[in-house]
């Protein structure tokens, strides 16, 4: 059963590596076709971190599937895990934080946002993030080799829970504000009719007044339902829909799995292979959904993908 799970994990990691490679290619090609937004730059960093994580995961699982591991191979597998969780995982978490902050600032600053922040600054920020995470990985590796530094306890017990707790608060506060702002700006203003129409002549789509103590107009239930459906449809077509889906997958499959890792594996000491593989599947599902969301639901990238696929088939037909 464990070998079967390892095969599933390798398959998921290969699929995720391929999808994120396609996603990065599409994002990079989008830069040549049209303007690359700040949101896309953060997506490149997010996707690159997930591609690296999954590529290293394929190597690590392939090594661990060998029952007679030499000491050298065990060290290679261990250092792959060190690179994953002291480097690329940090980039992954902070890229998700940057995506959330980007959406919040776009609402708060509105047209002033490009004045204070632009694509060039976002690129330099991400380069700094990758450099810092790389230096941190090297530092932890040196400390592990020289002083047997137990980095797992600090990262899994303190660092990642703290970052994820901060992210939960940030995401909840940001999107609560965004949804409230979105809802208030998308509702069509309601005007009070000047003439009082008899109740028997009123139709379902006309406005009704509130109670006697309130002069605020109140649309009928059918009109309210149409307004809600219109707001939902408009939101789905907005630039906030993709980040919301990415955050939901992050909270469910990453933060949820990390909480199980913290309380069950680290604190309770349950290191069963079945549990660890189940958590690894949760991480892989999150990476798969991230790639699927921004490739197939982002209108610009989806159009670019189908255009490239169409060009490939046309070239084959020419031959």
Domains of the chain and any CATH numbers:
1-182+237-318 (1.20.1070.10)
Predicted confidence band of residue 210 (pLDDT cuts 50, 70, 90): very low
Separation CA 103–CA 121 (nearest Å): 16
- Token pair for 181: 């702002």
Residue 41 CB neighbours (<10 A):
23
Note the Cα 49 to chain centre separation in Å: 12
Radius of gyration of the chain (CA): 25
- Token pair for 25: 């290619």
- Token pair for 317: 């037909």
Q: Which residues of 283-304 are buried (b: 16+ CB within 10 A; e: fewer)?
A: bbbbbbbbbebbbeebeebeeb
Would you state the pLDDT for residue 185?
61
- Token pair for 318: 């020419």
DSSP state of 199: G
Residue that wins the pLDDT comparison between 197 and 30 = 30
Predicted confidence band of residue 253 (pLDDT cuts 50, 70, 90): very high
Predicted confidence band of residue 109 (pLDDT cuts 50, 70, 90): confident
In Å, what is the CA distance from 53 to each residue of 49, 95, 163?
6, 14, 19
Would you state the pLDDT for residue 194?
43
Predicted confidence band of residue 190 (pLDDT cuts 50, 70, 90): very low
Predicted confidence band of residue 197 (pLDDT cuts 50, 70, 90): very low
Residue that wins the pLDDT comparison between 134 and 201 = 134
DSSP state of 222: H
Predicted confidence band of residue 107 (pLDDT cuts 50, 70, 90): confident
**pLDDT, tens digit (0-9, with 9 covering 90-100), for 272-305:** 878 888 888 999 999 999 999 999 988 888 888 8
């Amino acid at each position: 059963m464990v070998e079967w799970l390892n095969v599933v994990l390798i398959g998921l990691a290969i699929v995720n590596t391929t999808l994120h490679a396609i996603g990065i290619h599409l994002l990079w090609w989008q830069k040549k076709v049209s303007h690359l937004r700040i949101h896309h730059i953060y997506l490149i960093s997010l996707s690159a971190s997930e591609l690296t994580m999954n590529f290293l995961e394929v190597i690590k699982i392939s090594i661990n599937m060998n029952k007679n591991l030499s000491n050298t191979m065990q060290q290679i597998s261990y250092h792959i895990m060190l690179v994953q969780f002291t480097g690329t995982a940090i980039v992954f978490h902070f890229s998700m934080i940057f995506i959330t902050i980007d959406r919040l600032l776009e609402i708060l600053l509105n047209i002033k946002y490009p004045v204070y922040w632009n694509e060039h600054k976002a690129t330099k920020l991400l380069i700094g993030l990758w450099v810092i995470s790389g230096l941190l990985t090297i530092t932890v590796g040196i400390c592990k080799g020289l002083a047997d530094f137990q980095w797992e306890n600090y990262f899994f017990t303190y660092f990642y829970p703290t970052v994820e707790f901060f992210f939960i608060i940030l995401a909840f506060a940001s999107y609560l504000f965004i949804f409230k702002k979105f809802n208030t700006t998308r509702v069509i203003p309601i005007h009070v009719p000047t003439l009082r129409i008899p109740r028997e002549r009123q139709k379902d789509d006309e406005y009704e007044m509130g109670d006697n103590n309130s002069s605020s107009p109140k649309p009928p239930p059918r009109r309210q339902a149409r307004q809600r459906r219109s707001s939902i449809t408009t939101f789905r077509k907005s630039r906030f829909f993709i980040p919301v889906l990415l955050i939901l997958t992050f909270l469910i499959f990453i933060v949820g799995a990390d909480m199980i890792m913290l309380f069950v594996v680290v604190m309770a000491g349950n290191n069963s292979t079945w549990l660890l593989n189940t958590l690894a599947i949760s991480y892989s599902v999150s990476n798969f959904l991230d790639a699927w969301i921004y490739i197939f639901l982002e209108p610009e990238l989806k159009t670019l993908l189908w255009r490239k696929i169409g060009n490939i088939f046309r070239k084959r037909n020419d031959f």
